[in-house]
Amino acid sequence: MAMTLRPAEESAARELLRENFILTSLDAVLGWARSNSLWPLTSGLACCAIEMMCAAAGRFDLARFGYEVFRPSPRQADLLITAGTLTWKMAPVLKRLYEQMPEPKWVIAMGSCASTGGPFADSYSVVPGVDYVIPVDVYVPGCPPRPEALIDGILQLKAKIAKPQLTREVIRYGR
């Protein structure tokens, strides 16, 4: 049964709607939910892991974003922060960890070793960047990156998850 409202009633109805209903798309809701509840996996490989621990500790607090629940099992995690140098011996293990994580999942390459091999890029035993074995969403440079830099990278990932079309725009430094 169609209802037709008089103009005065219509604006009152709109007001009620705006105050009591949130209209959105499923994408936006899922993006909001996933970006606000990232569960990282403890995959510290080398020195960057110390800075990752600092980022999770009291002074630089990851808990204020909701990301302090580092999971020991990949089955329960959705964010893989590769903190440290990846060696050829460890590469299949990291790939297995990534494959064990359920979708949707994201990867942050933390530090210069994880991004490009860092100071050890030409070594016989170091993989020149974890993107040799797993796809990476955010690269955080630094040796090691300060905890604030890691948090900035995580927040950029949060923006990417909430609004994936952001990655099609160029994100300029200091935007």
Partner 1 sequence: MAVNIEPVLVRYLIGLFPRLMATDRAGDGLTVVTAPADEVYAVLRALRDDEPFFMDTLGDLTAVDYPDRLDVVYHLYSSACGHKLAVKTSVAKGAAALPSVTGLWPAAGFAEREAYDLLGVTFTGHPNLTRILLPEGFEGHPLRKDYRLPPRPATR
Q: What are phi and psi of 129, to 5 degrees?
A: 105, 135
Rounded CA separation 156/18 (Å): 30
With binding defined as CB under 8 A, does residue 168 bind partner 1?
no
Stretch that binds partner 1, among 27-35, 95-103, 124-132, 155-163 (CB under 8 A): 124-132
Nearer to partner 1, 66 or 92 (CB): 92
Using the rule CB under 8 A, which residue among 37, 125, 148, 166 binds partner 1?
A: 125
Stretch of 22-30, 51-59, 99-107, 118-126 contacting partner 1, by CB under 8 A: 118-126
Q: Is 21 in the site for partner 1 (CB under 8 A)?
A: no
Interface with partner 1 (CB under 8 A), residue from 50, 60, 68, 131: 131
Structure tokens at 80: 């893989």
Listed ranges 11-19, 43-51, 122-130, 166-174: which one lies at the site for partner 1 (CB under 8 A): 122-130
Identity of the residue numbered 78: D
Interface mask (CB under 8 A) for partner 1, residues 66-105, using x and -? ----------------------xx----------------
Is 173 a binding residue for partner 1 by CB under 8 A? The answer is no
Nearer to partner 1, 56 or 114 (CB): 114
Binding residues for partner 1, total number by CB under 8 A: 9
Structural contact between residues 77 and 101, judged by C-beta atoms closer than 8 angstroms: yes
Burial tier of 113 (Cβ tally within 10 Å: 0-12, 13-18, 19+): buried
Q: Is 136 in the site for partner 1 (CB under 8 A)?
A: no
